[in-house]
Structure 1
């Protein structure tokens, strides 16, 4: 299906096509997400098979925690870590804690106590999720910080550290001095044992622990998935969904008061200002990925933002957690008798998905012009990383007003799913000021490339399309992300030839910005990032990669480039060729081909394009123009 980009006052919408019969097999996709693992073992009482597994240590007498009990109470009764069905039952425990806990009475008491003790209290709200501190629980489940009674909170030491760090950073910016010198100047507010003035050797402001306002669903099961890992200087595809608990959209009560012997309200107000500014920048883990932002009502500022674009995402959507349909019956029996997790996707507009995709395209482009060790270094410097060195990262990604405007289809006649929001790019506090202009240029052009080379979330390598064999869900495949903007930056030309020139401008601007940041390379001399074979390729936009733009008539309600990819001529033993369309099962490989539908034409990225069957695919495409290599 070909459709228009959104016009002013007329945003684009898809309409469900008429149901049609076809002998084409549905394309298999890789399923990742919390609770989405196949059990792989037989179960149940029939045929002498073992019963459906229980998450509890004693399945014959399962505990029934009181609703006001901490989620820690659920974890203490968890079954043995070497049991079968390890991951699904772990997720079952987390969902039980999320849905069964009710901390309202205790949190009401704690927040009122803060307001009574504090001379100055105020509320801050998290627009998305937050995870502060914490530790590893059973089976390495990442747990947020909780107090002695198991209530989630922000420790007072964390709040003091945020305000103190913000004060130091402001002094460094204003006076152009180093960290140690600035640290000495904050002693009148935060204290220092090395202060010459005895009155400055202790802090003037007392920070209280911050608790969220009573909320039935304060805990939320979350998911981290490290899809790409560096192995022997080569990126390796290895999805690894890891469930953990975070807090979703909490409102915290923050309390401050002057220390005994101090009566200066100006000191209190100054520290409060630093704290609020620091909280808006983010608190806890993954602040560069949309987590941890805390905003006071009516005082939201985005001083670090340098770019934004409204977007519409259509197709299989961005997913986080997968929820069990029935928490007490988390499995269903497969046709072969094995048990599988019975889950449903939980669609969510996740900033981490945008950051991961920007990072992916940065890596693939950089591998074509830099050595792998240099790519890793620059990737960590810009996006942050743990290995090989712990770096905060220069770029901060946030999504504002993220929402689902069309739920995933429940019948074959429903529209495709749709999500909306505002993607914003921000400077992190770690970026040197002299690097900001070049980072802005790099990130803006990288975002343009991301929007026009593929999608976001599940099915990102294919544009959104309807399955002709609509007997089974999902009835829509793929992902199309659309900039919902009339700004000239996003305006696309009408012909493939004109797009070729525009693409070259954006890519050269990306390369030039990376050079200006300090990378040394010649983008006209592409590297060969590994040997390409029929069943082997590297996801790198290098000498073996081709990007083409093509336009021809659609068929089967699919854009032309996708019709050719799914054609009988390219099938292997009657099925889709795994070296074109990707593989699932024991050997999991993502497809080496990305297809983006841009209304009048499609942009096709092919890794390892110099050998069959990918070379043959490119030869079959009609009316195509090569836009990479330049």
Structure 2
């Protein structure tokens, strides 16, 4: 404590900084080389690249760059303890290696087991505070395991959620003053800037668990009231800075049960100057998965009428269902229902059979790990954005295309003119995974709604959505591949070139109705290793090929028929019939097969899309879209399809 000359506390000019254990560790390392007398150099060499991971009353956990240094530090642990300052000194050092999980240490037998259990229960905020981010010695990102440990810690907080739920009930004092609201997918409410400037969820500073601050709830209620011309009434109910307290107080809202989950944002196509290049960049993040919130309301000292609470409760419910809560609402996060909030809207029923959509845990070949499949509304937005660019880059310059895309889909910090929300159901069947539901498209303008609606029809007729979207559903080497996506089943096009050309013209007309262009452009999709955005230009061909004996996916016995030609369809069977046509693949022995100039190299999107259409059970056909069909290897494939009866519907004359 500092004092003024008069003997009084003078805290006004004094600012205290609370340091994290990691900051204290870095200070210790910096001071180690300045000590008099100098400690042996071996200790400064051992510790110079170390990171503090965790500290409690009994031990301190330090990670080192590799196993060798970690082992040497462990052998010298007592001498290292003797060097530590009092704020870091513990009776034991636990040594680990960067990029790995912390070592599991057995508790001393002298400490009762119940006490140990209470000690090891940590909140997500504690896990993040004591975490080391960045990269390990092999350049592997450390953020995902850190976020997973935070989510795992939250799963142990069920009792805390129960107590906070009960506390909210007691504070509200009346069941009519409570609002329970469920979110069907994920929600992101930002709190603080974290590593890589990623917005971490709002974590309560006392309890350390995710929550929705009362200020956020109050903000969306006020925004809803302003939008629906109730601003003066909102000022009376909620108060204003220049007018004082309102009559109703909204309490901080907590989930009723653990719901923190690691999610991923994975943009795959990126603008680079005048081109859109393929480069997947997954970014893990924390979200609340399918949370249920209990929101309490109480009268303030100014509040006399319980009707005021009923009004605010109704507004809050309407705001959460219509406007949503948190960030990325236009991409499907934070909406409690499909109720449209923009002026123009339409709904489309869909069914999807898929090899599996995946977030942060995709399947891998290691130990036959299947990953964690989930329907992701963001995939619908992503596929519409892909087909938007495919059309727009054939009509406009790259600069115009990019500004048009930002206007429609939005950019960071600015909402676009459209929003895409999905209500979905899943079945217990996982081979293939099956989802049904409704896609709700919204827009501030009718022309924009017409454009995105036409894109949805086009996307569902040319391919699928999510993982495997470029191939019809089938089995290959014993594994499920591809998707079958049906939107507005009654609107599936017949095997008829005129109707297909009308669809393609409708899509183009919707773009030109919003933004005129007198020119047409051609854009190369690039080569393996330099893959660029696919464009529906004059070098792209769309072909229809009858597949008369093909079985519709819901009628397939996937255990016995999945790899049969009448499941794959005529076009896919033809693609697989020659090494010259099919994409590059690798067998389990590591042998590489296929032609990367036609089907695409390993981990590179194929240049060929194939979609199965079943307008009637006895009249199926397949649509084949070939980007860069003027390229010699793809031209051979295109000509071979035509010689087998395929008809061309794009490009059509006078384009």
1:559 Cα offset (Å): 2.1
- Aligned with 1:601 (options 618, 621, 624): 621
Separation (CA, whole Å) in 2 of partners of 1:60 and 1:204: 53
Separation (CA, whole Å) in 2 of partners of 1:422 and 1:235: 31
**1:275 is the counterpart of 2:316:** yes
Map 1:47-58 onto structure 2 (within 5 A): 55=99
- Aligned with 1:565 (options 572, 575, 584): 575
Partner of 1:492: 493
- Aligned with 1:503 (options 481, 497, 500): 500
Structure having the larger proportion of residues in helix: 2
Partner of 1:461: 470
Separation (CA, whole Å) in 2 of partners of 1:189 and 1:80: 44
The residue matched to 1:230 in structure 2 has which SS? strand
Partner of 2:19: none
Q: Any conservation in 2 of the 1:385–1:393 contact (CA below 8 Å)?
A: yes
Separation (CA, whole Å) in 1 of partners of 2:241 and 2:361: 51
Q: Any conservation in 2 of the 1:363–1:540 contact (CA below 8 Å)?
A: yes
CA shift in 2, pair 1:324/1:577, >3 Å: closer
Separation (CA, whole Å) in 2 of partners of 1:577 and 1:98: 43
The residue matched to 2:535 in structure 1 has which SS? coil
Please tell me whether Structure 1 or Structure 2 has the larger radius of gyration of its CA atoms: 2
1:452 Cα offset (Å): 0.8
Separation (CA, whole Å) in 1 of partners of 2:526 and 2:361: 36
Separation (CA, whole Å) in 1 of partners of 2:598 and 2:283: 29
1:228 Cα offset (Å): 1.2
- Aligned with 2:516 (options 520, 523, 536): 520
List per-residue Cα deviations over 1:208-261 (Å, max 9, x = no partner). 100111x2x411121110111111121111111111121111111111223222
Map 1:135-154 onto structure 2 (within 5 A): 135-138=192-195, 142-148=199-205, 149-154=207-212
Separation (CA, whole Å) in 1 of partners of 2:606 and 2:315: 48
- Aligned with 1:169 (options 218, 227, 251): 227
- Aligned with 2:594 (options 567, 572, 576): 576
The residue matched to 2:632 in structure 1 has which SS? coil
CA shift in 2, pair 1:87/1:352, >3 Å: farther
The residue matched to 1:568 in structure 2 has which SS? coil
Separation (CA, whole Å) in 1 of partners of 2:264 and 2:438: 20
CA shift in 2, pair 1:276/1:137, >3 Å: same
Q: Any conservation in 2 of the 1:537–1:608 contact (CA below 8 Å)?
A: no
Partner of 1:38: none
Partner of 2:359: 320
Q: Any conservation in 1 of the 2:493–2:500 contact (CA below 8 Å)?
A: no
Alignment gaps of 5+ in structure 1? 1-42, 172-181, 195-199, 326-333, 335-339, 408-415
The residue matched to 1:398 in structure 2 has which SS? strand
CA shift in 2, pair 1:62/1:581, >3 Å: farther
TM normalised by structure 2 equals 0.71
1:536 Cα offset (Å): 6.7
- Aligned with 1:224 (options 265, 271, 276): 265
TM normalised by structure 1 equals 0.74
Partner of 1:12: none
Partner of 1:83: 136
Partner of 2:433: 418
**1:103 is the counterpart of 2:123:** no
1:61 Cα offset (Å): 5.2
Separation (CA, whole Å) in 2 of partners of 1:526 and 1:626: 20
CA shift in 2, pair 1:70/1:276, >3 Å: same
List per-residue Cα deviations over 1:121-147 (Å, max 9, x = no partner). 221111111111123434666531111
CA shift in 2, pair 1:513/1:184, >3 Å: farther
Separation (CA, whole Å) in 2 of partners of 1:184 and 1:238: 50
- Aligned with 1:551 (options 546, 549, 555): 546
Separation (CA, whole Å) in 2 of partners of 1:87 and 1:183: 51
Q: Any conservation in 2 of the 1:397–1:423 contact (CA below 8 Å)?
A: no
The residue matched to 2:510 in structure 1 has which SS? helix
CA shift in 2, pair 1:67/1:556, >3 Å: farther
**1:627 is the counterpart of 2:624:** no
Partner of 1:94: 147
- Aligned with 2:187 (options 103, 116, 130): 130
Matched residue count = 515
Partner of 1:616: 636
CA shift in 2, pair 1:527/1:62, >3 Å: farther
Tell me: higher relative CO, structure 1 or 2? Use CA pairs within 8 A at least 6 residues apart.
1
